[in-house]
Structure 1
Amino acid sequence: MAETLERGILKTWKDDRGFGFIQPDNGDKDIFVHISALKGMARRPVRGDILFYQVDHDAGGKFKAVNARIEGVETLAAAGKISKKWLWLLAAALGLVSAAVAAYAYFSA
């Protein structure tokens, strides 16, 4: 169902809980929005923000906003994740370098 982009105003926002409700411009019922729907935004939402979003269903069949963005707020570039394999290789390399430095210091003294 989440294909068309909807527009609405953030009617309520509970920042401590990370969710709120959007009042859609088309007059439909308020739509639930969770902070996870606003990935990559440069700031957290505040009441009165204009949001663009797609509508989807949650596990209970209720409508919720997904793939949302705040009008006029920059989207941050997602940093690429480093795989665990590379982290292990980096840790092993640092361990080997540390061992080599320690051995050099021990034998040259």
Structure 2
Amino acid sequence: MATGTVKWYNPTKGYGFIEPANGGKDVFVHASAVEVSSLGSLNEGQKISYEVERDARSGKESAGRLQAAE
């Protein structure tokens, strides 16, 4: 699993971005991934682990399987 820091997340809009710990482009995170995780919500600066998943229809990547990072 990759780790990163929540750059920003807006629950009203239902999405945000994670800055990967190893550098590279920010990873999109959708509210649906937050809802199925045990986190409940995301906060700016929060350290999390995630897996990059590719949507079968659109081909776009996003963060999934979110967990609190140690």
Q: Same fold (TM over 0.5)?
A: yes
In the alignment, which residue of structure 1 is the partner of 2:67? 69
User: Could you give the per-residue CA deviations for residues 39-80 of structure 1, whole angstroms, max 9, x where no partner exists?
Assistant: 2425311111111000111232222111112336xxxxxxxx
Alignment length (residue pairs):
68
In the alignment, which residue of structure 2 is the partner of 1:82? none
> Structure 2-normalised TM-score?
0.81
Q: Quick check: 1:55 aligned with 2:52?
A: yes
Q: Greater RCO between the two (CA within 8 Å, min separation 6)?
A: 2
* SS across alignment from 2:23: coil
Counterpart of 1:47 in structure 2: which amino acid?
A: E
Higher strand share: 2
In the alignment, which residue of structure 1 is the partner of 2:11? 15
Gaps of 5+ in 2: none
CA RMSD, 1 decimal: 1.7
Structure 1 stretches of 4+ moved >4 Å: none
Percent of matched pairs sharing the same residue? 34
> Structure 1-normalised TM-score?
0.55
Gaps of 5+ in 1: 73-109
- Return the offset for 1:30: 0.5
Higher helix share: 1
Contact 1:10 1:51 in 2 (8 A): yes
In the alignment, which residue of structure 1 is the partner of 2:31? 35
